[in-house]
Amino acid sequence: MRVLSGIQPTGRFHWGNYFGAIRQYIALQGNEQAFFFIADLHALTTIRDPKQLLELRIDAALDLLALGLNPAKAALYFQSDVPEVTELTWLLMTVTPLGLLEKCHAYKDKKAKGLPADAGLFTYPVLMAADILLYDSDIVPVGVDQVQHIEVTRDVALKFNHLFGEVFVLPEARVLDDSAKVPGTDGEKMSKSYGNTIDVFEPEKKLRKKIMAIKTDSTPVELPKDPEACSVFTLYKLFATVEQQTALADRYRAGGMGYGEAKQALFEAANASFAPARARREELAADPDKVRDILADGARQARAKGAEVLARASDACGLARWSRAVR
């Protein structure tokens, strides 16, 4: 079983990214073959500052490796280091119905809001399809809001296969478990767009400041509180053992505890949980050549498999390498 997943470097990874996706991606890396890419080509649709994009790409690589992605088990690479993906994108675009792209959420949402949408955003799903199909991916772990992209990929692959033969493997979506609800500092879903995130690698002082600023209700200290209705407790459960959760829940229900005490417990649990990853990240950041080698090796693995699939697709539609110049 071949697993593939990508993540955009549009900002530093936060708790929602980690518990909602990254942790589950890493759990799948022990499969027969796994490809994980940093989707920097996709990021060009939103980031126009070249210095910022370069920094975010490097940060994404450091973060993923520090959080447990093992290059001995999975290929990690920049999407832009695999030119085969853009060539395959064009092959797929020639068979992709315009109406299929017009139905995709990102384009429809921008259009509905009267915001400008460029060709990159409009054809984004085709590049995503190329990302998936280029490696004969069997399983693609995605959130519920990304299932449409897998459906589009399958539709495009079926159309290509119908026209040119059985070229592409049809991928299956593996919907990520979203039972680990991750509220932001305002109680809403943690999201960069809401400005309510807590980054995985926040400096300790900034981490504590953000946690202490989490929105809570105005229940007096002396009164009992409902832990299940409190976002601080919801976040605490992500880091704490069952015994620790039970103990803090009892403190909530007994009364006499302010939210500041719960926030302090959350800070200590989160800080301790990510401490090993923080140490690994510092080691990696101090050895950039090692990280470059990991990414280069990942790209070589990706290109080897990608070249095989691209040749299959090119041959099928009449673009076989015939001239001496390109043999």
181 belongs to the catalytic site: no
Beta strands in the chain (DSSP E): 2-7, 33-38, 75-78, 139-142, 172-175
Catalytic residue among 159, 189, 225, 290: 189
Amino acid at residue number 40: D
CB 269 within 8 A of CB 240: yes
113 belongs to the catalytic site: no
Read off φ and ψ for residue 29, nearest 5 degrees: -75, -10
Q: In whole angstroms, what is the distance from residue 118 CA to residue 48 CA? A: 13
Q: In which region does residue 267 sit, left (phi positive, over 0), alpha (psi from -120 to 50) or beta (all else)?
A: alpha
Coil, strand, or helix at residue 103?
coil
If one counts every other C-beta atom within 10 angstroms of the C-beta of residue 203, the result is: 10
CA dihedral 271, 275, 281, 284 (to 10 degrees): 160
Catalytic residue among 103, 110, 111, 205: 110
Catalytic residue among 111, 159, 181, 192: 192
110 belongs to the catalytic site: yes
Q: Give the active site residues.
A: 110, 189, 192
